[in-house]
Structure 1
Amino acid sequence: MQPLLHDLVSVVHAPASALGGADGQLRPTGAQGLFHADYRVISEAVLRVDGREPVAVAHSLTGPGAAVFVGLLPWLGDLSPDPTVRVERRRRLTADGMTEHVTFANTSHEPVTLGLTIDLACDLAAIETVKSGGLTAPVAVHLDGDHPVWRQGGLAVGVAAPDARVDAADTTVQLSWAITVESGSTTEVSWAATVSDPRAVLIEPAGPVEWERPELVADDRRLTRLLEQSLDDLESLRLAEAGTPEDVFLGAGVPWYLTLFGRDSLWAARMLLPLGTELAAGTLRTLARRQGRALDPRSGEAPGKILHELRRHEFHVALDGEELSLPPAYYGTVDATTLWISLLHDAWRWGLAEDVVEELLPTLEAALTWLDEYADPDRDGFLEYLDTSGLGLANQGWKDSGDAVRFADGRLAEAPIALAEVQAYACQAATNAAALLDAFGRPAADKWRTYAVELSKRFRSAFWVDGPRGAYPAMALDRAKRPVDALTSNIGHLLGTGMLTAEESARVAELLASPELAGGYGLRTMSDRDGGYNPLSYHCGSIWAHDTAIAVTGLAAEGHADAVAVLTEGLLIAAEAVGYRLPELHGGDARTDLRRPTPYPAACQPQAWSAASAVAIVHAASGLRPDVPGGQITLRPLAGAPLGGFTVRGLRVAGRRVSVTVGRDGSASLTGTPSALTILP
């Protein structure tokens, strides 16, 4: 079985991450350990004092890549109801490893003497082996002078521990210190693990963080705290390819997906556009270099197609009787190509330099070739997917688990499948591409405008269904072109894309805010009235922060303030319950049944698009929509200020810092706007 993650604390500085217990221990079990670039480089780091584990009382994230764990040593110090000796374990991740500072504080009346040990081991297990619940034999340790080192296949993990005694035996290392802490004072020791991995595909970016760190003052302090934690997490997820450290993108999530994911990295970069365009440029260029050039059923590659996932070697996972075996560069995604087009367009609108846009236009045109020639293999007018290899992803939209696409009665849909939101992405991408082609004097703009109009007509005819709950868009079409009639969160992705009329948009907003979809802590992936619903299903009833934020963004763009308020309130309650680090997903249980969200036990945390959702929500509430090439900027906040009043300083338009203030009455003001832009109400 896949190891559970919900009770672990993750500390990240990509490409390194550490997952351990709330007590700070890294135990040789499950998904615990220090990871680097898809390998577990420390499989055990257990601290003991006098042969006993401290009594864990607290832990806290303390910034990007940092955390502290607090324990008590009740057998030491004064005989008193109050603890007088404590230990703090301060963990800091770097791109090439981890350092821990262990501090003992003695408030008792006498000095205390103690023996500290830290037991270490290393198995160099591949991330897919850990994810599958498999076991890897520990690696033999060697001493390089006084420093223990584990080596295998060009990968080396070294340990340094000043002033420690080092005992190495076969595969394990014990660090030990004899420590005296005077009354009223503290004593500190440290140790570090450093990784040398010359074959790593992904590395730490070369420069500082690319985006602004905005300051938010809000009536709803939950929103401020969520944004602060999310910005820390986003900073820790920055990655670049080994050959191009200047092109930055966000790794999808920890621990399983700390790598380049086309869809995830694109959505996260798109949500962060209000903070600057540099991340978008790095993400676009990185994916452009790996754009498909040939037809390959094994990898899913096709000319013009955008990558789904990048690994250093084949990614082989066997879970629940199903086998997944993906090549290092895997293209099994039906939506990343259209999302790439729309990110390029949106970044241009936010002020991405014209020379950068122009450099990427050949990639845009190749992506349109994929949309024209390969995205619709049966030529029925809809984008669809089918894994012909038998080893790839059966479902290739964002809901990519094997059982994600279901009818209202719970039956599984059979591929090829045409997803509702994928048609909307294509409609929006075609419109956006036409705008770019026109602006840069390239041909075929009219063709793609016509494509968008015709696609929306076909969608209206084929996808809309009617039943006891009224009319709504189906989740998908199945192999027989039947509407897959479950009511799902997919419909939220249709908003703001040009796919819906105003009347259809209002109907979708009504459904998104209904108790059957919005009765939990955010937007359920599936209505609780459908046959496939399970509040702890990965994609059929759970709640994903990014999915909720995409719906909120679309609702705000089309003016549905009440629905925005319903969905955002659920997500903010969830954020408060988990210390404002939103996980990949949580359970879809009703708020009337449970006073806090149920953790999804295998959810990654942090997750790029979950963290980016905080920025998306603030942006949606602000109503700021720039069109730098058109010389104008619109400021149209939500009517009635459903999220309360706020001021956000440090958004960036055309490279300039701007500030937006939204009053409690819904009024708004904008300062710092470039003089070349006209502000429209």
Structure 2
Amino acid sequence: MSEQQPWLHDLEIAVNGPATALSAGSGRMGEGATGWIVDDRRILRSLYVCLSDEDTVPIAASSSGPTSDFWGAARHLGDPGADPTVDVHQSTQVGLHELLIEITVSSRASSPVNTGLQVSVGSDGIDLSEVKGGHTDGAAPEIVMDEQIWWSDARHRTTLHPSPAPASVERLDASRFRQTWPLQLGPGESRTVSLRFEAIRTSRSAHDADSGVMACDWDDLEVTGDDAWRDLVRTNLTDLKHLLQKDPEAPEDIYAAAGTPWYLTLFGRDSVWAARMMLPYSPRLARGTLRTLARRQARSADPVTAAEPGKMLHEVRREIYAQGEMELPTVYYGTVDATPLWIVLLHESWQAGLDLGEVRELLPNLLAALDWQAGAVDASPDGFLRYVDHSGKGLSNQGWKDSGDSMRRADGSIAPAPIALLEAQAYAVQAAYGAAELLDALGEPGAQGWRAWGESLAQRVRENFWVDHDGERFLAMGLDAEGAPIDGVGSNMGHALGTGLLTNQEEDLVVERITRPDMLRRFGIGTLSAENPAYNPTGYHTGSVWVHDTAIILRGMAQGGYTQQADQVFDALVRLSARSRHRFPELIAGEPVGQEPVPYPAACRPQAWSAASAAVLMQHAQRR
């Protein structure tokens, strides 16, 4: 059987800055993607707890932000009968360069319990891309057992600090060992053992980012409402808080890493959208995101990295990221929309109160971003913002729907690239209008030219993107390589709402089409119409429901005054929260099982723009 990407839907995931811990529902690590991952490298491979050589039975688990908690029962110990009388509670806490595991054994048995707590630990050192690729047979670093227990990989030295000290330590093989603590528990007694794993960087990267959790500026946000509503907001904003990272080049600036475990790093599009959603509650996140991306704005052309002068990056990695035929460099610019979205964030930040002096500091970046946007449109054959992978090893689709099969015609066939995405044109128009206001406010020339540029692009979209099919009129997802409309019905059209691209009458058509049952599902808006022959409810972009996609469309509806339709979308996301333990996943399947959401098995959790969607819901709730 070929190696496959491990699934995540049944795992408990905790995160803090550049570190994340993934565990099975029992608290164990050792299968699939489980383990402790720091700086895109898995440090701890396995962690296994048992009592008297027998497994405990997992009963419940919960995760939020940096913490996962587990409740298990030792059915082979204590009083006979159906009621468990010996419990095992495990807490997994991701700290700043450390992982703390606390194991508490409690007895409610009627007589004393004598047992041995055994914890087996295994080292690891493989890169995140290997974990994602399903590789499990790499050579783990040898564990050194002298005065301390420690091991080293290519990037870290990891040291274990147990408390209290174990009664015995047994080496299982070169990369695994087992510690044992004898326990004697009287009725009502508990004992706790702590394992603190400390990871010290021994080989630094220019992209090493520390946790930005201390810079969070929304901790004092007051949340009113019933318990379910407060849980929705607090759970997701706690997750977002612990996805914050500091810019290694300027630690006073923070941004939201895209998501764990696969994207725990700076992503242009994702980080900007998270900052836009959070702007009413976190000006610091918006400011830090703007400045972090501006520092890395491309200054020269390089087809390998997809860099072009003025372009904002797509993602940052510590090592080359290879998956199949794809091979992304450590700094990769293969995104068509991060640059206009950055301009939009700058404009919205100014509207929200960003000092004009700080806007002026970013004026060179704004002008360069505008030049890139205009140059990209001029270079295209039909006057639209397009993308193309010149390297042959980058992303074939460079919008947010970046899977190779995402752009579908009405007959289900895949549209050929390079593609002019509808939403990219919408962002570019919004960026042009916003930039014009900024230039006017700064007393700089060019504002009227950018207004005319935006109006011209909007008119070209109006003439080329509308599809008349079976008596209905809707917006295509994009134009394919030949300039033909990609006439599959998708969620892309919803991103045009509120951008200034559409007339009121055109927005009416978009809202009506996107709220039909084939698009608006029980838990959100689908990426592709259920009527399309290529529809797959568990397809990454061909029928699934993405939380952020749904929230963006909700945001546009609300801004346009489509209150009734926005309420429907709002209710769908609140419904999803109630059935996902209030922690929004990256995406779910497009259809439920019974009345419950079906997880997308490989979805990240938490994901920054999914967690930030709670802020969109908060804003809408205030309007209702």
TM-score computed with the length of structure 2 as normaliser: 0.96
Distance in structure 1 (CA, Å) of the matches to 2:617 and 2:343: 22
State which of 193, 197, 200 in structure 2 corresponds to 1:196: 200
The reply on whether 1:99 has 2:94 as its aligned counterpart is: no
Residue 604 of structure 1 aligns with which residue? Answer: 604
Q: Which amino acid aligns with 2:12?
A: V
Provide the C-alpha distance between the structure 2 equivalents of 1:107 and 1:204, rounded to a whole number of angstroms: 42
Give 2:176's aligned amino acid. T
CA contact (8 A) 1:261 1:308 kept: yes
Partner residue of 1:59 out of 31, 52, 61: 61
- Conserved 8 A contact 1:205-1:247: no
Q: 1:223 to 1:379 in 2, by over 3 A?
A: farther
**Hey, what does 2:191 align to over in structure 1?**
187
Shift of 1:546: 0.2
- State how far apart, in whole Å, the 2-side matches of 1:196 and 1:424 are: 45
Aligned-residue offset at 1:240: 1.8
Asked if residue 6 in structure 1 is aligned to residue 9 in structure 2, the reply is: yes
Partners of 2:196 and 2:275 lie apart in 1 by 33
Hey, what's the Cα distance between the residues in 2 that align with 1:367 and 1:140? 45
Q: What CA distance in whole angstroms lies between the structure 2 residues aligned with 1:505 and 1:255?
A: 37
Q: Does the 8 Å CA contact 2:149/2:159 hold for their aligned counterparts?
A: yes
The answer for the alignment partner of 2:288 in structure 1 is 282
Post-superposition shift, 1:154? 4.3
Could you tell me which residue of structure 1 aligns to residue 312 of structure 2? Answer: 306
Amino acid at match of 1:218: G
Q: CA deviation at 1:12?
A: 0.8
Residue 173 and residue 52 in structure 1: after superposition, are their counterparts in 2 closer, same or farther (change >3 A)? same
User: What is the CA–CA distance in structure 2 between the aligned matches of 1:466 and 1:472, rounded to whole Å?
Assistant: 7
Alignment equivalent of 2:407, drawn from 405, 414, 419:
405
Q: Supply the RMSD in Å over aligned alpha carbons.
A: 1.5
Structure 1: which amino acid aligns with 2:315? Answer: E
Letter in 1 for 2:526: R
CA positional deviation for 1:594: 2.9
Within 2, Cα distance between the matches of 1:207 and 1:618?
22
Q: SS where residue 224 of structure 2 aligns?
A: strand
Task: Work out the CA distance in 1 between the residues paired with 2:255 and 2:145.
Answer: 36
Q: Deviations over 1:591-623 (max 9, x none)?
A: 6x631111111111000000000101211343x
1:255 corresponds to: 261
Structure 1 pair 44–469 and aligned structure 2 pair: CA distance change class (3 A): farther
Map residues 255-654 of structure 1 onto 2, 5 A cutoff. Answer: 255-318=261-324, 323-468=325-470, 470-589=472-591, 594-622=594-622, 637=623, 641=624
Q: What is the CA deviation profile of residues 497-527 of structure 1, one whole-angstrom value per residue up to 9, with x for unaligned ones?
A: 0011111111111112110100341000011
Of 354-363 and 439-448, deviating more is 354-363
**Alpha-carbon distance change, 265 to 217 in structure 1, aligned in 2, over 3 angstroms:** same
Residues 108 and 308 of structure 1: CA distance in aligned 2, closer, same or farther (over 3 Å): same
Q: CA deviation at 1:477?
A: 0.2
CA distance in structure 2 between the aligned counterparts of 1:547 and 1:233, rounded to whole angstroms: 18
Q: Distance in 2 between matches of 1:247 and 1:209?
A: 9
Inter-partner Cα distance in structure 2 for 1:483 and 1:432? 28
Using the TM superposition, give the Cα deviation of residue 373 of structure 1 relative to its aligned residue in structure 2, in angstroms: 1.3
Q: Which residue matches 2:224?
A: 217
SS, match of residue 581 in structure 1: coil
Distance 2:271 2:561 in 1: 27
Deviations 1:310-344 (A, max 9, x none): 001111112xxxx1100000000000000000111
CA distance in 2, matches of 1:216, 1:243: 34
Separation (CA, whole Å) in 1 of partners of 2:349 and 2:620: 16
- Please tell me whether the aligned partners of residues 216 and 241 of structure 2 are also in contact (alpha carbons under 8 angstroms): no
Secondary structure of 1:208's aligned partner = helix
Q: How far apart, in 2, do the equivalents of 1:513 and 1:283 lie?
A: 33
Q: Which residue identity does 2:197 align to in structure 1?
A: A
SS in 1 for 2:536: coil
Unaligned runs of 5+ in 2: none
**1:25 paired to 2:28:** yes
CA distance in 2 between counterparts of 1:265 and 1:144 reads: 42
Cα deviation per residue 1:349-398 (whole Å; 9 max; x = unaligned)? Answer: 11122222221111111100101113552252210001011100000000
73-82 or 483-492: which moved more?
73-82
Q: Once structures 1 and 2 are overlaid, which stretch shifts more, 567-576 or 326-335?
A: 567-576
Give the match for residue 76 of structure 2. 75
Equivalent pairs, count? 615
The residue type paired with residue 598 of structure 1 is V
2:452 maps to a residue whose letter is T
Query: Percent of counterpart pairs with the same letter?
Result: 40
2-side partners of 1:108 and 1:519: how far apart? 49
Structure 1 counterpart of 2:126 = 125
Letter in 2 for 1:577: R
Query: Residue type of the partner of 1:620?
Result: H
1:109 shift after superposition: 2.1
Q: Offset of 1:576 from its aligned partner?
A: 1.3
Could you say what secondary structure the match of 1:565 adopts?
Answer: helix
| Cα deviation code 1:66-97 (max 9, x no counterpart) | 12101111221122432111110011111312
Q: Is the 8 A contact 1:376 1:384 kept in 2?
A: no
Q: What is the one-letter code of the residue matched to 2:141?
A: A
Identify if the C-alpha distance between structure 1 residues 595 and 142 changes in structure 2 by more than 3 Å, giving closer, same or farther: closer
Q: 1:645 maps to what in 2?
A: none
CA contact (8 A) 1:573 1:596 kept: no
Matched to 1:47, the amino acid is: V
TM-score by length of 1: 0.88
Gaps of 5+ in 1: 623-636, 642-681
Secondary structure of the 1:509 match is: helix
Amino acid at match of 2:200: S
Distance 1:207 1:524, change over 3 A: closer
- Cα distance in 2, alignment partners of residues 586 and 547 from structure 1: 12
The answer to whether residue 182 in structure 2 is matched with residue 178 in structure 1 is yes
Q: Deviations for 1:202-255, whole angstroms, at most 9, x for unmatched residues?
A: 322467233223222236x54332111101101110112333221110110111
Distance in 1 separating the partners of 2:604 and 2:211: 22
CA distance in structure 1 between the aligned counterparts of 2:170 and 2:513, rounded to whole angstroms: 63
Q: Retained in 1: the 8 A contact 2:247–2:255?
A: no
Question: Given the superposition, is the C-alpha separation of residues 534 and 71 from structure 1 closer, same or farther in structure 2, using an over 3 Å criterion?
Answer: same
- In the alignment, the residues of structure 2 paired with residue 2 and residue 144 of structure 1 have an alpha-carbon distance, to the nearest angstrom, of 33
For 1:110 and 1:347, the matched residues in 2 are separated by 64
- Residue 134 (1) aligns with residue 135 (2): yes
Distance 2:296 2:145 in 1: 40
What's 1:246 paired with? Answer: 252
Determine the C-alpha separation between the residues in 2 that align with 1:569 and 1:429.
30
Alpha-carbon separation, structure 2, partners of 1:66 and 1:123: 22
Q: Which moved further from structure 2: 163-172 or 419-428?
A: 163-172
Alpha-carbon contact 2:123-2:143 (below 8 Å) kept:
no
Contact 1:204 1:240 in 2 (8 A): yes
Instruction: Pick closer, same or farther for the CA change 1:263–1:331 going to 2, 3 Å.
Output: same
Do the aligned partners of residues 541 and 567 (structure 1) sit closer, same or farther apart at CA in structure 2, a change above 3 Å counting?
A: same
Residue aligned with 2:518, SS:
helix
